[in-house]
Structure 1
Amino acid sequence: MGTTYAIDLVPVDARHRTARWGWRALVATEPPEDFFGFGVPVLAPCTGVVVVAHDGESDHEARRSQLHLLAYALGQPRRLRDGAGAIAGNHVVIALAAGGPFVLVAHLRQGSLAVRRGDRVTAGALVGACGNSGNNTQPHVHVQATDSIDWPLARGLPIAFEGAAGPELPAEYRIVVVP
C-alpha cells in the first residue's frame, strides 16, 4: 500500500491536545467535531495534477477509549476488503509528473474536497479539510508518496518538508507550526 514513509499530521491546540479531555474519551466514542483539527483547511503538499479525488465517505466517531479502540481494530480486515475508500476515506492523489510519483492526502472531511480529477494544483492550494473518514481513530491528515496508485503493489517513497535548515522529516510527536 506504499505506506513505508507515510506521515500522519495530527492537529493540536496550544497545550498539544487533540481534543478536550472528558468522560467520553475514557468510555465512549466522540464526535469528530470535538477535535481541534476537524474541518481545518488542508493544503496541497506539492504541485501536480489531481489523478484521484474521492469524496462521499462519512466522517465517523473518534475513538480514544481502549474499549472502542479494540473494537475498531477488530474491524480492520473488513476495511481492507472494502478497498481504498474504507482505508483512505475521502482523499486526493496528486501526480507530480505523468506516471508519478504520486502523493496521497487522506482522511479528508466529507464534502470538503476543493479539487477534482484533472485539476492542476500548486503547493499550498486548498484541497479539502481535515476529517475523520476512512481508517483512523481521530481527525488527522495522512500523507504518503508512492511510485504507483496500484495500491497493493505501490512502494512508498521518502518525503521531506522544507524547513529553515533545508528538507527534513519531522520527528515523532514534534510540533510543526505552519505560519
Structure 2
Amino acid sequence: MIAVVLLFQVAIPLVLLAWLWLRPARSLVGLVGQVAGTGAFLFALSLVAQWALPVWWLPRVYGGIWLAAVGVALGVRPGLRGLPRWPLRGRAWSEAAVSALLLGLGAWFGTQALMGRMVPEVGVVDIATPFGAGHVLVASGGAHPLINAHMRTLDDSVERYRPWRGQSYAIDFLGIGPWGLRAQGWRPVDPAAYAIFGTPLVAPCAGIVVSAETDMPDFDVPQQDTVNRLGNHVILRCGEADIVLAHMRQASVLVQRGDRVEAGDPLGQVGNSGASTEPHLHIHAQRPAAAGAPPLSGDPLGLRIDGRFLVRGDRLRGLAG
C-alpha cells in the first residue's frame, strides 16, 4: 500500500508537474493538450485518492504548482505566439499522445468521482456531528465505489456481502493532527499514535441504544478482528433508522442496550477494535434489520452530517473542534 501511495500521490504528480514546468510542448496544440491533460489528471487524482497519506492538503500544493507552471508556459515564455500550431516531430506527437491519454483518464475518473458527490436516490438521514471534539477527514464516503469502498456491499450477487449490506453508504473518518498529519509517523503500530484515537464521540441524534459493546480489545496496527467486525460499537435507533458507530475504544462505551440518549450525549471514544486496519470511526445509517437477520443487513440509507453529504477528502470539526 505504501508503494502505491508513493507512486500515485507523490511520484506521478511530481513527474507531471516537472514535465509541464521544464518541458512545455513546442506547439500550440501540444501545449494546450499538455496543460489540459496534466490539469485533468491531477484534479481527478485529488478527488479519487485517499489523501490521509501523506497529508490532506498536498493536492492544494500540487494545484498551486500546476497554476504556476501554466503561467510560465502561457504568460512568461517568450515566443509563444510564434509556436507552430501542430507538433512537428515524432517525439512531439508522442508527448501529445501522452497528454491526450492523461486528459481522457482525468476526465473519466474525475467525472465518476464528481458523480459520487451527488446524494444517492435512497432515503437520507440527517444527523449532527458524532464527534465531541477534534478535526477529522473523510477517508471513504460518497455515492460511488471509486470513492467509497463500502458500496461494494450493494452487490447482492456476492453472498458474503449480504449480512453487511446496511453499510453501503458508510463514512470512515480519520483524525487530523498537527500539520495535517493523521498520525505520529507514516504508519505507527501503536494506535495511540493516531490523531483520532481517543477522540470523544457523542450521540448524533436522539434515540434508543439497540446494541452496545465495550469489551473488545484495541489492536496494534495493522492487526484486526475479521470475525467481530464492528468491534466495540453503539447502534442507535433514531426514528425509523439505525445509526451504527463502530471500532470504538475498549472500555470507553458509556451506554447500554435500552438506554435513551439525546443528541450530544457522550457515547465513548474512537478506538481500533474490530475489522479496523488503523484507528478510525465507521458510521452509517440503515433501516432496522429484519427479525433474526444479521444486524447490519437492513436496507442502506444515505447520511447527511450537519447538513452535508460528506465524501472522500471532506473535513469535519467536532463540537469542540
Alignment of 1:20-169 (within 5 A): 20-21=184-185, 25=187, 30-63=189-222, 79=226, 82=227, 86-97=228-239, 100-149=240-289, 150-151=294-295, 153-162=297-306, 167-169=307-309
Aligned counterparts of 2:179 and 2:311: Cα–Cα separation in 1 = 18
Aligned counterparts of 1:111 and 1:153: Cα–Cα separation in 2 = 26
Structure with the higher fraction of residues in helix conformation:
2
Contact 2:167–2:296, Cα closer than 8 Å, also in 1: no
Structure with the higher fraction of residues in strand conformation:
1
Shift of 1:14: 3.7
RCO comparison, higher one (Cα < 8 Å, 6+): 1
- 2:152 is the alignment partner of 1:3: no
Aligned match for 2:312, one of 160, 172, 175: 172
Aligned counterparts of 2:244 and 2:181: Cα–Cα separation in 1 = 25
Aligned counterparts of 2:217 and 2:312: Cα–Cα separation in 1 = 28
Alignment-mate amino acid for residue 127 of structure 1? L
Largest Rg, 1 or 2: 2
Aligned to 1:66: none
- Aligned to 1:33, what secondary structure does the other structure show? helix
Aligned to 2:74: none
Alignment-mate amino acid for residue 241 of structure 2? P
Alignment-mate amino acid for residue 175 of structure 2? P
* Structure-2 change in CA distance of 1:177 and 1:153 (3 Å): closer
Aligned counterparts of 2:276 and 2:183: Cα–Cα separation in 1 = 15
Aligned counterparts of 2:199 and 2:175: Cα–Cα separation in 1 = 8
Which structure 1 residue ranges, 4+ long, deviate > 4 Å from structure 2?
none
- Aligned to 1:51, what secondary structure does the other structure show? strand
Equivalenced residue count is 151
Alignment-mate amino acid for residue 59 of structure 1? D
Alignment-mate amino acid for residue 175 of structure 1? R
- Aligned to 1:9, what secondary structure does the other structure show? strand
Q: How high is the TM-score relative to the length of structure 1? A: 0.77
Shift of 1:152: 5.7
* Structure-2 change in CA distance of 1:140 and 1:169 (3 Å): same
Aligned counterparts of 1:131 and 1:153: Cα–Cα separation in 2 = 24
Shift of 1:171: 2.6
Structure 1: give runs of 5+ residues left out of the alignment.
64-71
